[in-house]
Structure 1
Amino acid sequence: MSYDKHILWVCTAALVTGWVFTNDDGCSSGTVMRHSCNWTCMHLTLQWPGSFCIGLTNKTVCKIPESVQNWTIHGLWPMRTGHCCDCWPIFHSHLQEIEADLTQLWPSFIKGKHFFYFWKNEWIKHGTCAGCEETMGSPFLYFQAAVKLRKLFDIDNLLQSSRIKTSCEVSYKHDDIRSVLTPLLGQNYDLQCVTDSKGREAWIQLKIHLFRNQTIGCPKQEQEQKFDRLSWFNSTGHPCPKNTTIFYVPINYENPHEPCN
């Protein structure tokens, strides 16, 4: 066995068993990875393209492809402590079978960046932890699982049939949105908003809580609460406030960072 193949085997074995390993194993320079398989729940995070660019500091990098008209996937994120494995590689060829679905349902909104680099980053950051579960135990299976979940939770048709439509004039109460989502999701989700230049709260993300086996639900254990607080802190958005109305803004392809101006 070559040295490179040996290192890959060591890293993958450590990932699957939850071993602790350092850069002495050749896996990640200067990084200690702990218990990357020690998780029980995950978030399927969906994002609304119409609001995505509002939260970006650099307004010139954002572009919404005109083929994108619905809610897209931001990520499928195990709620874990510690670092995932940097040395479980992913190649473009791994995703060719589902690339059409990924292009439509999991696109990047950053100019000049091929979608694959977004997918690769999500795999390294989150997928390699999800790979501890057999049903997501490869790059293909992980992304296939996310696509199936996105299709299962048909948020677009649910909102439209409930007369919650995109608008720059009409806003919705927090409870009005939840009353539509709760029959499908129970209480197992979070609404995330961004604030636009006029102080309006714009709905940007929906985080659906899932068990490890991809069924809906998630117990609020201590480590998951810590991860959840960290994920909010590191995000451009925040929990949608309950004391003001929320805008579900339309997609503005020509001026995506100011969709209502």
Structure 2
Amino acid sequence: MDREGRLGPLRGHRVVSAAPPRVLTVAGSDSGGGAGIQADLKTMLALGVHGMSVLTAVTAQNSLGVQGVWDLPAEAVRAQYRSVVDDIGVQAVKTGMLSSPELVETVAALIADTDAPAVVDPVGVSKHGDALLHADAVTAVRGRLLPVATVATPNLDEVAQLTGVRVTCEDGLREAAEAVLALGPAWVLVKGGHLPGDAVDLLTDGTEEHWLRAPRHDNRHTHGTGCTLASAIASRLALGDSVPEAVRAAKEYVTGAIAAGFALGGGIGPVDHGWRLRGPRTAG
């Protein structure tokens, strides 16, 4: 309304925007907000897609570690998934914490019936070393979940858990990738972030290789990096990128988020999912 009391040109008119691409995360909740569903949805918002969620577990979690985990029943997970996919639809799916065999098998069956790329982050332990995958669920991840993955994104601890291959240097990334590919995903991104030196990852489908290298930032506040990277890949796939394009864009995004990570609580703080949305952070 202007100073003379006239209504603006849009007054009384309904403006409807086109919906952005839709991405569904199937993962656990992090009450501290740095990882899990919370990190996924922040990443999706930052990258311009509409994030939706299927909650698989509730955790009591903060910067110091995981104090408790409560899985949701498989029927609750299935109902959430069907509710979203059958009405709203999805352009990509991302999975995170699926701690029990029943949850793994339920989600694998749902993904197999969904016509959208799936990014599988085979979460085994938290950043603090807390187990998030029951020992009896590892077989289900190998046999049911990885075969329906468009891209699997294991770190080196998860590679060892799934395949027995232990990587101690960059030269071992190729062997690790071959071992994971043998379990069925179309592509694997082996994350070498636990190795010394630059942060080096290997993306391959068994035919072509893409080595992704980024400088290692002197920042211990890296909670949520795995969730963030997988969600960024899913977001870029939903936006129409090829797998190599999506992974490169996601690597760039998460590298910036790590550089901007901040202290929170008394332990390991989170990466900054909104680093592109604000200027440089200043102390004080």
TM-score normalised by length of structure 2: 0.30
Structure in which a larger fraction of residues adopt strand: 2
- Structure number with the bigger relative contact order (C-alpha 8 A, sep ≥ 6) is 1
User: Normalising to structure 1: TM-score of the pair?
Assistant: 0.32
